[in-house]
Structure 1
Amino acid sequence: MSAEEQAPAGDGGSPGTVRSRRVVAGRVRLAVAVLLGGGLLWAATATDSTWGALPGSLDGAAGTGSGASFVRSASLVCPGWPGGDGEAQQVQVRGASAPAELGARADVGDGATLEAPEEGSAIRFPSGGAPDALEVDGGWSTAAAGPDAAPGLVAAQLSLSAQQGGRGLAHTPCRAPAEVMHLLGGGPGAGRTEQVVVVNPGADPVTVTLEVSGADGPAEVSGGTGLVVPPRGSAAYLLDALAPGVEAPAVTVTAEGGPVTAHLLERQRQGSVDLGVDLVPAAALPGLDLVVPALPGPDHGGSGSRSLVLRLHAPAEEAVVELRALTPRGARTPEEPVVRVPAGSTVEVDLEELDDDVLGLRLRSDVPVTAAARLRVEPTSDDPVVVETTDDPGVSSSDPDDAVTTAAPDGSTTTSPDGDATSASPDDEATAPDLDEAGTTAAPDEDGTTPVPDEAATTATPDQAATTATPDQAATTADPEPRQRVVRPAGELAWVTATTLARSPVGTTLPGDDLTVDGRAVTASLAVSVVDATQAQVVWLGQDREVTVEELDLANDTTVLVDVPAGAAAVWVRPVGVAGIAAALHLSGVDDVGPYLGAATLPVVPWTREPTQVLPALP
C-alpha cells in the first residue's frame, strides 16, 4: 500500500515531502564480479560497500570506503539491571540477525546467540531471524554472531516494572564495547539515584577510571580511579558516592586493559511518588556536528505536564554551540539559538517553547562537544488514586514469576559469572510468593493424613481454611487475587543521546506486539531525522521472518515519524545516497497510575570493516 503526505513549511524551513511506500520484498542476492589479478579488490568493494538493489531503491547506496568488507564477527553487550531495595524490574533481551533485504548474508551459516553469562542461559537464532525474548534476572547479556550473521546484528534490553519504588520503562539498545564513553544523565536532589553500570565482556580484568563534570566544571571524585571490573563481570558505582551533589552531571568512563560498556541507571522519586527510571547509554564521542534524535512528542506520555531539556558537555575546551530543531515541518530556531559551554562543564538548555511537536536537534560547535536530551512527564495530580493490583510486581506478557528482586550496591557492587552478588539478596523474600506451594502445604488430604499442628497453623484464617478443603480448591490459590491499594499518580522520564549522522545502517530490536501494562498495549513509533535532503529505507523484520521495506523521501532539516507495523521484531534504517540519518525508537503506555515512556537512539550496527593493509617487507 502507499501513502503520500505533503508537510507544510515550518518556521525557518522549507516544505518537505514525505513519501512512504510499503512493499514486501523478495530475497535479494548480491551480484559479485570476480576478476583476475588487481580486479579482485574491485570485486570486494562492489560487493561489500553497496547493499544491493531493493524494490524502488537507488542503486549504489552509500558505502564506507574503497576496499571495505563485511565484518566477520560481532558482539553486542546489554547492561542488565542492578536492582534496588524492594525493586522487581522485569528484564528481557531480544536479538535479530539482518535479512538479505538489508544486503547482509542471510539464510546461511550458524546464525547468532543471545547469552546471559552470569545466569547460564542462552538462545540461538538463525541468520535473518529473531528469537523469542531471553528473560534475565538482572544480569548482563550479549548478542554474538560469526561471519554469516554479524553484519547488521542488533539487540536491545527492555526493562519494565509497575511496582512502587521502581516503576517505569526503559528500552536500551545493546552496544559494542569501547574504551572511552561519555554518560549524561541524573542530577542532585532527594529521591534521585544514579548508578554507573560497567560491563567487562572480556576474559581479562579491566581497570576503569570515572571522571565527573557538572555545571560548575570538573568535580572532585572520591574513589574514581583504579576500579577493577572482573573478567566477564560487571560493576555498579553510585554516582553520589563518587561525586555527591553535582548539578547536571556528565561522567567520562575510561577503560584500560580492554573495552567495556557503560550505562547510567537513573531513578527518580519524590517521597512515595515515582517520577521515572531510565538506563542511559553513552552519548556520541565529542564532535563538531551532532544530532540528538527526537524524543516522544506531546501525543505520548499521558496528560501530565512536560519538560524538555538539552544537556551539553564540553569536556576539553570552551565551546560555542549553535542549535537548530529538526521538525516534521522543517527547521525551527530555539529561543536560545547559541549556547556557550565552559571548558570541562555542562550546560542545560530549556526547550519548552519547542515541545509542541516531535523534534530532533542539530548541534554545531567550534570545538568538540557531546549531548543528550531528557523528557520528563510530571504526575497528573497530587491526589491519591485507588488501583486494583495483585501480589505480582512485574508487568509484561511473560510469566510473572520471572520478575526478581535484586540488591542495590552500596557504593559499588561487582559481579562475575560465578558470583552471586546480583542475585543473593535478603530482599528476594519480598517478591511475590509461590502460591502453589503455599496452597498445597496446608492441604489436609494431600497425603491422606491430618496436617501436623505447624501445617494446620498455616490454615488458621477462615479464608485460608476455605481454600484448602480439597486439593483442587488448594490449586486455585496459585492465581493471586486482585486487591485494591491507594497510590499516588506517577511520572516518567526518558533520555536520548547525541549521535553522528550515520551513513551506514542503524537498528534495534522491538519489544513485540504483546507487551502490555495493566492490559493496555504499549505503542511504538520510529523517528528519523536528517539535515540534508535524502532518501532512506526502513527495513522491518517480523517475528515470522517476513520482511517489509518502507521508503522515505526526507526534506532538509526534518524529522519524520513512522508507525511500527504489527508483528515487527526488529528495524533497520539505512540512508540511500551520501547524506546521513539519525533515528530513535519511542515506546509509550499508560495505566491508572501514570505514563510509561521509553526512548533510545538507534546505534550504528556492525557492518563493514577496512581490510588490513599488507605492505611488502623492505630489504
Structure 2
Amino acid sequence: MSRAVDTARRGLRALRPALPGATRVVAGAGAAAGLVWAATTVPGALDLAAASGSAAAPVARTSLATSVAAMCPGTELSGIPGVDDRRVDGRVEAVTGPEDLLPVPADGAGRARLVGDDGTLAELTARPDAVEEDLPDTGPVLLTADGALAPAVTATQEWLRTSSDLRGLVTTPCLPASSDLWLVGGGDGPGRQERLVLANPGGNPVTATVTVLGGAGSVAPPQAQTVPAGGRTTLLLDAVAGTEAMPVVHVVADGGGLHATLTDTWLDGSTPLGAETVVPTAAPGTVQVVPATVVSGRTTLRVAAPGEDEAVASVTLLGPKGPVATTEDTVLTVPAEGVGELRLPDVPDGVYTAVVRADVPVVAATLSTVGDPESRGDLAWSVSAPVVTEVAGLALPDTPKVSRTLHLVSTGGASTADVTLVVDGEERTRTVDLLSERSTDVDLEDASAVWVRRGSGAGALRGGVVSTAGRGGSAVLSVVPLEPVAVTSPVSRSFPMP
C-alpha cells in the first residue's frame, strides 16, 4: 500500500487548506438557532405553569453539558490470564475545545482529568488545552470532566511498534459508554489474534452479552462477561471464533453502559503483518458511510446483517470529484444474522469514502493492508462513522514521525463545516464547503487537536482521520472515525404541582 500512502499524501498536500491565524468559528444561523430557543406550549397540552398560577419564564430546551465521562481501553495487549502481555509503550492525550465551539460561554469552575487505576494521570485547566501521559501498564483510562470544562472535551490513545513480533500504528479515540455496540474486525490468518476489551466507566458492575457473527451466522452461543466498576474485562476472541474468517462482534450491556474495542494483531510465523484497534461502528442502518477508506492493491468491505432477513448491499466509492466509475461487481448478498465480504474495485491508490446501501439494516467496515503480503506490513480497519450534527473532535497525540489528514464527506446533499485546528495552543479555523457525494481532505500537520462544527446545508456530514508513519515498505497506518463530542444536553421544562 506504500503507493497509496504516498499518493494520498501528495493529494492531501494539494488539497490542504490555507489556514488563517486564530479566528472565530461562525456557525450558520440555523445551527445556532437550533441550539437554544425558548420553550413553547403545544396546543391542547396541559399548561402546568397556568395551573400553578405562575408565569413561566422562557426556558432553553438545551444547555451546556455539565458532566462527561469517556473510556480509553488502555494497553489492549494485556490482562488475559494465561496469555503473555505485550508492552506497547503507548500515550494518551486529552484536549478541551476552544470557547468558540460553545453556543454560550461556559461560566464558573470546571475540572477535566485523565484517571488510571492509581489515580489522576493529568488534568486540563483551560480552553483550549492539551495534556499527554504514558498509558498505564494495566487497566483502562477514564476521561472525566464536569462544570465549565465538560463541553467539547475528548481524548485519544496511540501506540506505534515496529518490532519483529508486533508491528503497527494503533490510534484509538476514547468514547462514552453505550449499551449496544458492533465491532467489525479480525480474521483467520495464521498467527492472527483478536482481543475484545470491555471497559466500564460506571460505579456498578455491568454484565455484557457477547455474540460473534460469521459467514454462516452466529459462530457460538452468546457469552456473558462481567465488567467490574471502573475496570475492564479482556476476552481472547480466538477461544470463541478462532477459525472464523469474517468475525463481527455484538456487545449488549445490561445494568449500565460499556466502552468496547477489538484489537486485531497478526504475526505469521516470524513476520509481523500489522495491528489495529477497532472502535464500534455506527448503529445498524440501511445506509452506512465509511468516510476514510485507504484503497490499495487489496481493500475489502465487510458487511454484517444483524436482523432476520438477508441483506442485499451495494457499495459506491466517492472521491474529490464524486462517485468513482467502475465496471467491477459492487453488490453482495449477506445472509441473515451473518457476514459477507466484497473486494473493493480496482481504482487508483488513495483515500476514498465507501457508501454502503442495503435493503435492510447493516453494519460495515473496510480493511486496508500495507506492504508486501510476504513481508512485514500493517493493516487498518475503517468503520462506518456517525453523522456530525453539532460538534466532533479528535485529540492528536504527539507521536514522532506520524502525519495525519482529516477526510470529510457530505452525502445526500451539500454541507459546510467549520474546521478548527489547535497548533501550539493557537486556534486556526476555516470554513470548508462540501458538495454532495464529494470528499475533501484537510492536512492536520502539527495540530494537537481537530474540531469540526457543522454549519449549513442539508447533507449528512461525516469524517475520518488517517494517520501514517514511514514510506514504502516501512509504512504503517491507522484510521479512526470522527466522533461527535458532547457540547450541549437537553433540559426539560417542569413546574411544581399546586
TM-score (norm 1): 0.68
Q: 1:341 aligns with which of 334, 340, 343?
A: 334
> More strand per residue: 1 or 2?
2
For residues 402-481 of structure 1, the aligned pairs below 5 Å read none
Q: Check whether the contact 2:169–2:276 (CA below 8 A) recurs between aligned residues.
A: yes
Return the offset for 1:529.
1.3
Does residue 574 (structure 1) correspond to residue 456 (structure 2)? The answer is no
d(CA) in 1 for partners of 2:205 and 2:454?
A: 39
Q: Check whether the contact 1:184–1:282 (CA below 8 A) recurs between aligned residues.
A: yes
Deviations 1:83-117 (A, max 9, x none): 36373301111111110122266775444433232
Partner of 1:159: 159
d(CA) in 2 for partners of 1:369 and 1:69?
A: 34
Letter in 2 for 1:96: V
Partner of 2:361: 368
Return the offset for 1:264.
0.2
Return the offset for 1:508.
0.4
d(CA) in 1 for partners of 2:112 and 2:494?
A: 33
Partner of 2:115: 116
Q: 1:377 aligns with which of 370, 379, 394?
A: 370
Pick closer, same or farther for the CA change 1:196–1:64 going to 2, 3 Å: farther
Q: 2:321 aligns with which of 321, 329, 332?
A: 329
Pick closer, same or farther for the CA change 1:112–1:165 going to 2, 3 Å: farther
Q: Check whether the contact 1:21–1:551 (CA below 8 A) recurs between aligned residues.
A: no
Alignment length, in residue pairs? 451
d(CA) in 2 for partners of 1:108 and 1:323?
A: 47
Return the offset for 1:133.
1.1
d(CA) in 1 for partners of 2:17 and 2:116?
A: 42
Deviations 1:402-460 (A, max 9, x none): xxxxxxxxxxxxxxxxxxxxxxxxxxxxxxxxxxxxxxxxxxxxxxxxxxxxxxxxxxx
Deviations 1:566-613 (A, max 9, x none): 3x1111112211433111111111279722211100111112222235
Deviations 1:211-269 (A, max 9, x none): 01011111123xx4332111111111011112331221111001111101110011011
d(CA) in 1 for partners of 2:352 and 2:472?
A: 28
d(CA) in 1 for partners of 2:493 and 2:333?
A: 42
Partner of 2:145: 145
Letter in 2 for 1:263: T
Partner of 1:499: 385
Q: Check whether the contact 2:330–2:345 (CA below 8 A) recurs between aligned residues.
A: no
Q: Check whether the contact 2:318–2:439 (CA below 8 A) recurs between aligned residues.
A: yes
Q: 1:611 aligns with which of 471, 474, 491?
A: 491
d(CA) in 1 for partners of 2:317 and 2:440?
A: 13
d(CA) in 2 for partners of 1:497 and 1:65?
A: 32
Unaligned 5+ runs, structure 1: 1-17, 29-52, 299-305, 383-488
d(CA) in 2 for partners of 1:379 and 1:261?
A: 34
Pick closer, same or farther for the CA change 1:354–1:496 going to 2, 3 Å: same
Q: 2:419 aligns with which of 514, 519, 538?
A: 538
Does residue 314 (structure 1) correspond to residue 316 (structure 2)? The answer is no
Q: 1:75 aligns with which of 69, 72, 94?
A: 69
d(CA) in 2 for partners of 1:80 and 1:19?
A: 33
Does residue 601 (structure 1) correspond to residue 487 (structure 2)? The answer is no
Does residue 556 (structure 1) correspond to residue 466 (structure 2)? The answer is no
Partner of 1:191: 191
Q: What is the DSSP-based 3-state SS (H/G/I as helix, E as strand, rest coil) of the residue aligned with 2:346?
A: helix
d(CA) in 2 for partners of 1:212 and 1:307?
A: 25
Letter in 1 for 2:19: R
Q: 2:407 aligns with which of 524, 527, 533?
A: 527
Pick closer, same or farther for the CA change 1:19–1:226 going to 2, 3 Å: closer
d(CA) in 2 for partners of 1:104 and 1:588?
A: 34
Q: What is the DSSP-based 3-state SS (H/G/I as helix, E as strand, rest coil) of the residue aligned with 1:242?
A: helix
Q: Check whether the contact 1:539–1:547 (CA below 8 A) recurs between aligned residues.
A: yes
Q: 1:225 aligns with which of 204, 223, 226?
A: 223
Partner of 1:216: 216
Larger Rg: 1
Return the offset for 1:370.
1.0
Letter in 1 for 2:205: P
My pick for the range that moved more, 287-296 or 555-564, is: 287-296
d(CA) in 1 for partners of 2:426 and 2:158?
A: 23
Pick closer, same or farther for the CA change 1:119–1:354 going to 2, 3 Å: farther
Return the offset for 1:355.
5.2
Q: What is the DSSP-based 3-state SS (H/G/I as helix, E as strand, rest coil) of the residue aligned with 1:88?
A: coil
Letter in 2 for 1:282: P
Partner of 1:178: 178
Q: 1:583 aligns with which of 460, 463, 468?
A: 463
Q: Check whether the contact 1:311–1:372 (CA below 8 A) recurs between aligned residues.
A: yes
Return the offset for 1:163.
2.3
Q: Check whether the contact 1:358–1:559 (CA below 8 A) recurs between aligned residues.
A: no
d(CA) in 2 for partners of 1:192 and 1:19?
A: 37
Letter in 2 for 1:180: D
Letter in 2 for 1:614: S
How high is the sequence identity, in percent, across the aligned residues? 30
d(CA) in 2 for partners of 1:613 and 1:364?
A: 39
Return the offset for 1:350.
0.5
d(CA) in 1 for partners of 2:471 and 2:358?
A: 41
Return the offset for 1:131.
2.8
Q: What is the DSSP-based 3-state SS (H/G/I as helix, E as strand, rest coil) of the residue aligned with 1:60?
A: helix
d(CA) in 2 for partners of 1:596 and 1:321?
A: 30
d(CA) in 2 for partners of 1:136 and 1:537?
A: 32
Partner of 1:266: 264
Letter in 2 for 1:230: P
Partner of 1:22: 19
Q: Check whether the contact 2:310–2:334 (CA below 8 A) recurs between aligned residues.
A: yes
d(CA) in 2 for partners of 1:255 and 1:205?
A: 10
